Amino acid sequence: MRVATVFFTLPFSASRSGGCGGSRRPAFRTVSLYALLAGFALFLCVSCGGGGSEPDAETTGPAAGEEPEEAGEPVEDIVARMSVEELVGQMFVISAQSTEMDYYLEKMIRERNIGGVLLFGYNMESEEGVRALTESAQRLSMETEPAVPMFFGVDHEGGEVSSAPWVEPFPAPAEVGAAGDPEAARRNARAIGEQLSRAGINTDFAPVVDTGFGAAIGTRAYSDDPAVVSEMGGAAIRGFREAGVVSSAKHFPNHGPATSDSHEALPVIDHDEQTIQTYDLPPFRAAVDAGVPMVMVGHLVYPAVDPENPASLSETWIRTLREDLGFEGVVVTDDLAMSGANGGRPPAEAAVRAVKAGNDLLIISSPPEEQAEAYNAIVRAVRAGEIDEAGIRASVGRIMEVKREYSLHGADGGF
């Protein structure tokens, strides 16, 4: 996917934001004024010292060696009380039609409990305008039961895929990979994430960890060497995490060798099992090891694994991601509006197939009526027993865990 998607992120507590304050109030007995003042001065030096230097990569972000601080109702309890309609809504990331909150977006939030919003370049005229949109949408989501914050995300990779106009220019991943400096990949990802966050964007569908410069990829890839891609991709994931932004490694299992563009066709990659294991999958293994919260599955057919279905609609491929690579986070489809997924038809059928295959989150940038029909089709399939309700509850549990881990919350309330 090379579109822009926008979601909203703020920290749960100041203790993880790098600022002064926010730590728990310690219990203490009566002390002298001198000791109290000295202790307070020492606290200020320790917690806020260092001027404007970049915080240590090992001590920032939601995975800084400690479990995220729990807040509010346990995730499993929230999921348990959701209706089927609310559960299905959480699995949808839809496109917006305007630069502002409109009737359809409001309806999807109020009536269908959507999980996130995808913004294209035409939705993002300015940082201030995007912030106003994300804040109003998040506020509405948090005022509407079950009061769950939304992903607001973009495709912003650096180089040619740089959708948010207020983010400063960064080199294309191919340039970063050619330089061979993973620290540059980390710094760039962190800076991109921090600048996106200013407008309420909490998710970036990056980095690209495809190996190779094939169709639809080009300079979006770090390298045609899987070892280089693994190193750079893992570093970028750490950078996004430091910025508090959800990242997504893409396009599993590897769009790099494709000779056709999955926006317009269904690529077939005729790699044997050994090539898949040694060339295609290592960067995704590295991404999982780096703690990536999402993996985006591409619209790609690998006949050696599943000759009938693109990976995005393949139970075999998603089982490989879960069991062989050990991924426990959110599996997200590439845009189901793409021809590689739907064969030029409306996305409802592909959406049902994607859920049956094991995807947790569905991106659909089709017209509003097609998004609504895809939602209705999944609800009907669950009601008819074609889709296991326990499976969608597990998917929504994973979605909610990521939202909590990355401290998403609305403009007026916590999660």
Q: For residue 170, what pLDDT is reported?
A: 98
CA 44 to CA 410: how far, in whole Å? 30
The reported pLDDT for the residue numbered 344 is 87
Domain residues for the domain of 340 are: 75-405
Measure the N-to-C terminal CA separation of the chain; round to a whole number of Å: 29
| Local structure of 168: helix, strand or coil | coil
Inside any domain, residue 308? yes
Mean pLDDT of the region 266-286: 98
Rounded to whole angstroms, the Cα distance separating 156 from 42 reads 40
User: Which tens digits make up the pLDDT trace of 82-124?
Assistant: 999 999 999 999 999 999 999 999 999 999 999 999 888 999 9
Write the DSSP string, 79-129: HHT--HHHHHHHTEEEE-SSSS--HHHHHHHHHH---EEE--GGG-S-HHH
Which residue pairs, CB below 8 angstroms and at least 24 apart, start in 69-73? 69/12, 69/13, 69/15, 69/16, 70/404, 71/12, 71/13, 71/404, 71/414, 71/415, 72/414, 72/415
Q: From the candidates 263, 271, 299, 409, which is the catalytic residue?
A: 263
| Residue 52 resides in a domain | no
- What's the number of domains the chain is made of? 1
pLDDT at residue 415 in the model: 65
Buried b (16+ CB within 10 A) or exposed e, 317-332: bbebbeeebebebbbb
pLDDT in tens, 187-236: 999 999 999 999 999 999 999 999 999 999 999 999 999 999 999 999 99
CA angle 53–55–57, rounded 5-degree value:
135
Whether the pLDDT of residue 41 is over 50: the answer is no
- Cβ pair 327, 297 in contact under 8 A: no
d(CA 147, CA 140): 9
Q: Which residues are registered as beta bridge partners of 295? A: 249, 331
Residue 86 lies in a domain: yes
**184 in helix, strand or coil?**
helix
What would the two tokens of residue 391 be? 């499976």
- What pLDDT band is residue 29 in, cutting at 50, 70 and 90? very low
Instruction: Tell me whether strands 156-158 and 116-118 are parallel, antiparallel or unpaired.
Output: unpaired
Greater confidence (44 vs 234) lies with 234
Q: How far apart are CA 67 and CA 19, in angstroms?
A: 19
pLDDT in tens, 201-213: 999 999 999 999 9
**Pairing of β 116-118 and β 151-154:** parallel
Q: Is residue 25 part of a domain?
A: no
Residue 157 located in a structural domain: yes
**Which residue's structure tokens are 């980390």?**
186
145 in any annotated domain: yes
Q: Give the chain's mean pLDDT.
A: 86
Which of 280, 334, 335, 360 is catalytic? The answer is 334
Please report whether residue 326 resides in a domain.
yes
Q: What CATH number should be reported for the domain holding residue 300?
A: 3.20.20.300
Neighbours of 344 (CB within 10 A): 8
- On whether the CB atoms of residues 325 and 55 are closer than 8 A, the answer is no
- As a dihedral over the C-alpha atoms of residue 395, residue 321, residue 163, residue 11, rounded to 10 degrees, the angle is 50
| Residue 46 belongs to a domain | no
Burial class of residue 147 (count of CB atoms within 10 Å of its CB; 0-12, 13-18, 19+): middle
Reported pTM: 0.84
Q: Is 271 a catalytic residue?
A: no
Asked if 263 is an active-site residue, the reply is: yes
